[in-house]
Amino acid sequence: MATSASSIVDLSGATYCVLTGASQGIGRAIAVELSKYLGPKSLMLLLARNKVELAKTAELCKSPNIKIVYESMDLSKASGPEMFDVIKRSTEGYKVSDFATTVIFHNVGSLGNLSVETERMEDVEEMRQYYDLNVFNVIKLNTQFLKVFEEIEDRVVIVNVTSLCAIKPMSGMASYCSGKAAREMYFKVLAEEKKHMRVLNYSPGPVETSMIDYVLAETVNANLRDVFMSFKSQGALLKPEITAKKCLKVLQQGKFSPGGHVDYFDDE
């Protein structure tokens, strides 16, 4: 096992990639952008609940270089063995050692209940379900990924799609902010322990997705509604394709520190 690795991510060889939340929005955009760079004999596993939309993403990613597999999976409920099996099954016909690079994009995420004020949060079961999807099962999936590729873990690249909310509190988003903070810190610790892996926390900026409409429809926090209304009215929301391009650029340039938080708006 190597003791160190260049931060530059080379996708031009045979690459294995798994991407969660790949049925729409940022996840779909990253998958499509990634497919432009993957070298011959690459393999892409797309995960989300909506199999119809996953099929659309797979069609958009079609390339002679890539075999694309997609599986409907509810990552809020899937067990560790189920996660391990879906990754392992996707590699049938391949030898793990044949992959020059293995990448996982942890993009799955939700906003939580925005209709309850922070000082009135008390439904522990609801909070537990939120953290199951956004924190605990992300960690669990990452563990299964590392088990599958243990023998080549010096070729592992991990991208956690995070948020400015992981490092800066946003009024009205207690679940989202605390979940993103916990998730990001897990990957920072992993990067500290596994210095031969390349770990990136990428914050995509304010992106034009269905989450924006959800915030405007559900939040009881006036400040949060005003912030997101301002984003929309001023045309400040980014297209998913734009932030996906930046994410891939950050990876390929490799200037990020281990477990570093890189925002779309950071200087290159």
Band of residue 4 on the pLDDT scale cut at 50, 70, 90: very low
Residue 231: per-residue pLDDT: 87
Residue 176 near residue 243 (C-beta atoms within 8 A) = no
pLDDT, mean over the chain = 94
When mean pLDDT is compared across 66-75, 137-146, 158-167, 233-242, the lowest value belongs to 233-242
Q: Tell me which H or E stretch contains 174.
A: helix 174-193
Question: What is the spatial order of strands in the sheet that 42-48 belongs to?
Answer: 66-72, 42-48, 15-20, 101-106, 156-161, 198-203, 260-263
Band of residue 235 on the pLDDT scale cut at 50, 70, 90: confident
* Structure token pair of residue 240: 């998913």
Residue 10: per-residue pLDDT: 93
First to last CA, the chain: 31
Residues in the chain, total: 268
Residue 3: per-residue pLDDT: 36
Fold adopted by 15-263:
Rossmann fold (3.40.50)
Please indicate whether residue 233 or residue 13 has the higher confidence score (pLDDT). Answer: 13
Phi first, then psi: give them for residue 137, nearest 5 degrees. -80, -20
- Given a cut of 60, is residue 247 above it in pLDDT? yes
Band of residue 268 on the pLDDT scale cut at 50, 70, 90: low
**Distance from C-alpha of 29 to C-alpha of 153, rounded to nearest angstrom:** 26
Residue 90 near residue 45 (C-beta atoms within 8 A) = yes
Residue 9 near residue 157 (C-beta atoms within 8 A) = yes
- Given a cut of 50, is residue 2 above it in pLDDT? no
- Given a cut of 90, is residue 161 above it in pLDDT? yes
Band of residue 1 on the pLDDT scale cut at 50, 70, 90: very low
**Distance from C-alpha of 227 to C-alpha of 2, rounded to nearest angstrom:** 46
**Distance from C-alpha of 183 to C-alpha of 180, rounded to nearest angstrom:** 5
* Structure token pair of residue 174: 């207690």
Q: Are strands 260-263 and 101-106 parallel, antiparallel or unpaired?
A: unpaired
Which residues on adjacent β-strands are paired with residue 71? 47
Residue 267: per-residue pLDDT: 79
- Given a cut of 80, is residue 5 above it in pLDDT? no
The answer to whether the predicted template modeling score (pTM) of the entire model surpasses 0.85 is yes
Tens of pLDDT, residue by residue over 56-98, are 999 999 999 999 999 999 999 999 999 999 999 999 999 999 9
